[in-house]
Amino acid sequence: MNKLEEIITEIKQLEQELLQELQKKQDEYLYIIEGKRVKFEAETRRYHQTLATKIHAYFANASILNILTLPIIWFCLVPALFLDIVVSFYHSICFRVYDIPRVKRSDYIVIDQQSLQYLNWIEKVNCVYCSYFNGLIAWVQEIAARTEQYWCPIKHARKLSAIHSRYHKFLAYGDGANYQKKFVQIHGDFNDIKNGT
């Protein structure tokens, strides 16, 4: 295992630890998860309802610039929905043809803030929008990462601000000899996904 693979493995372990720590909040904030539903104890729900900002107070405290930019941010939903449709179409057809493991949409698009009683209906709608949009981008990124591995598994020469989940498998930039030797092996190497590691 080279140094890069060791770092990637360590990052994955740290991500798992982070998820486990976040899951511990379940006990602290008195909720349970049943399937895709989040349920709070009745007393906690009642308490949360007392914390919700009333609509008139919400608008009274809102910045006028925030209100004026609402049409712009909500217009972004149009290309997001178009992206969702196009990528769904590509994903459902091409991944089967290329024999690339499909990306489970529900692992990326998680919408559950509407269960929070301390949010008013405007905040809940905003949370649903942001959850959908960010989840969609993460889902599309994973589809793109697997596609890039299949078609062009070569690292970049320039520094990236973030790397995707498949990048560690890519060949070094400028390594032409290994590209010719290892392309077929790398472009179809999704065993870690198929085996759940």
- With bands split at pLDDT 50, 70 and 90, how would you rate the model's confidence at 158? very high
Higher pLDDT, 119 or 115: 119
Torsion angle in degrees (nearest 10) through CA of 143, 148, 149, 152: 170
Highest mean pLDDT among 51-55, 154-158, 178-182: 154-158
Report the number of secondary-structure helices (H) and strands (E) in the chain. Answer: 10, 2
Q: Rounded to whole angstroms, how far apart are CA atoms 43 and 40?
A: 8
Q: pLDDT band at residue 149, thresholds of 50, 70 and 90? A: very high
**Mean pLDDT over each residue of the chain, to the nearest integer:** 87
pLDDT digit string, tens, across residues 28-47 = 666 777 777 777 777 777 77
Binned at pLDDT 50, 70 and 90, residue 7 comes out as confident
CA angle 82, 86, 91 (to 5 degrees): 145
* 22-26, 93-97, 130-134, 160-164: least confidently modelled range: 22-26
d(CA 105, CA 88): 9
Whether this model's pTM surpasses 0.85: no
Torsion, Cα of 52, 58, 60, 66 (10° steps): 160
